[in-house]
Chain A
């Protein structure tokens, strides 16, 4: 009897990052709730708000990215890295310790914890950068997914460096060449636009489940989006550090407009014929709409700040988490998780026996239930953010918990289906 020999080491780091993402997302949402309860709105001055933002971005989304990137980088560069699996595990451990210390540092207002946690996160990222760049060495590619991954990595390192600089300044260990607000504004733009959006929009034409049909449209859109993001960030960097407001306005406008090509590409996908994993595709589309709403809010605060309430800039970013990035992260991981499981359990048996497809491992019905929860998350969080009411916040928390519980159920189902698949003698 032939049995699959799963290479658990090669995917162990990825799964560790996915587990971290789930835990930190839960922590981040609780922190958001506490911040809202204390201030009645989402005020960046409250320590729990910053703890929540960092738990969601560093612990949640960055972990999803890193988990996927440890698989994607060698694939895109077509080079297997010796010891890559071990490096991914070490990176996950450093990321866990660093992010936990940073979240605690923000929540408890302890600046030295921020510096230590930030240093650990940076050490992990440098390890990853080493891995990614040694993979890149062999084949340089200008495909949007490669540009998104690698340019995003540089902007991420810049964002972490800016964050460490600010934390050191607050701890009294360093000075800043410009005001703290300018550095914070740059940190925020570089982290969100330079890293998260860049990676997402760069990979979008490969991630959208129906990329098979309108690949060219998706690729053009991704290329345009990356151009807008990188140009906008360069203008923002010069404008904020040189205190040139017009350049900042131009840069911010480009950042907001970067979503537009992606919206067009997603709309084009709606007209296509192949729709595998339907529930996750609609989650992705809803996330794109949420991202567009945040971009509109961002552009409004750039051009007509007097018409908006306080903290519009922060609100646009805070809204992007539940309204856009959670739906997109769920949609993307709905494709990545069963695929990784298939690679570990089934790939060694290909050609030897009938194997289940990736879709057969995942429960289509539960994906539609997940989509229902995603709609509830977007609706309730939208309500809680823009019309703050205690009941709205509770509803948002319940919807988020429901979404995570459904995903957990889906993973259990996947495990059961995998166990029911028994290798046969060849």
Chain B
């Protein structure tokens, strides 16, 4: 028996982990770029992430989806990582975080 079962991650932990994924074209991480629409923790060990991409036919859609899934699944305490790419929400430059715009 493993007696050091990791606790489920918090939304803040997931956000921090997702900051390691950069959009290769813009050079900003997907959190500051505004690509994360929602993060949900419906039950222990399960993390759901809703993602959007910068344009409807973004060639990086699959790459970002897979990268997000891989990062979230790699967090301690995560048994199931579900990532959805939302096609009906359009990304606009307003979604870039203010802090990033000031840099």
Contact = CB atoms under 8 A, between A and B. Distances in A.
Most B-side CB within 10 Å, residue of A76, A213, A350, A352? A350
Contacts of B63: 343, 347, 350
A347 B74 CA distance: 17
A350 B59 CA distance: 14
Interface stretch (A258-266, A354-362, A366-374, A404-412): A354-362
Contacts of B64: 350
A229 B71 CA distance: 47
B8 interface: no
B46 interface: no
Contact of B93 (A77, A206, A213, A351): A213
A206 B55 contact: yes
A207 B86 CA distance: 23
Interface string B57-99: 1111101101110110010000000000000000011000000
B54 A212 contact: yes
Contact of B70 (A72, A145, A351, A354): A351
15 contacts: A71-B59, A75-B59, A143-B57, A145-B57, A206-B55, A215-B92, A274-B93, A276-B26, A339-B59, A343-B63, A351-B67, A354-B20, A357-B22, A357-B24, A358-B24
Contact of A350 (B21, B58, B74): B21
Contacts of A206: 55
Interface of A: 71-72, 75-78, 141, 143, 145, 206, 212-213, 215, 274, 276, 339, 342-343, 346-347, 350-352, 354-359
Contacts of B60: 343, 347
A78 B58 CA distance: 9
B3 interface: no
A358 B25 contact: yes
Given A276-B26, A355-B22, A357-B24, A350 B66 contact: yes
Given A342-B24, A357-B27, A351 B71 contact: yes
A75 B66 CA distance: 16
- Among B59, B61, B71, which residue has the most Cβ atoms of chain A within 10 A? B59
Contacts of B67: 350-351
Nearest to A361: B24
Contacts, number: 62
5 tightest A-B CB contacts, nearest first? A351-B67, A350-B67, A351-B71, A76-B57, A357-B27
Nearest to A335: B25
Interface string B20-58: 111011110000000000000000000000000011111
A276 B71 CA distance: 27
B59 A352 contact: no
Contacts of A351: 20-21, 66-68, 70-71, 74
B22 A352 contact: no
Contacts of B66: 350-351
A343 B59 contact: yes
A342 B24 CA distance: 8
Nearest to A352: B70
Given A339-B59, A347-B63, A357 B70 contact: no
A359 B60 CA distance: 15
A390 to B, nearest CB: 44
B53 to A, nearest CB: 11
A357 B25 contact: yes
Contacts of B26: 212, 276, 357
Contact of A212 (B22, B24, B57, B93): B93
A22 B68 CA distance: 38
Given A212-B54, A350-B64, A350-B66, A355 B24 contact: yes
Contacts of B22: 355, 357
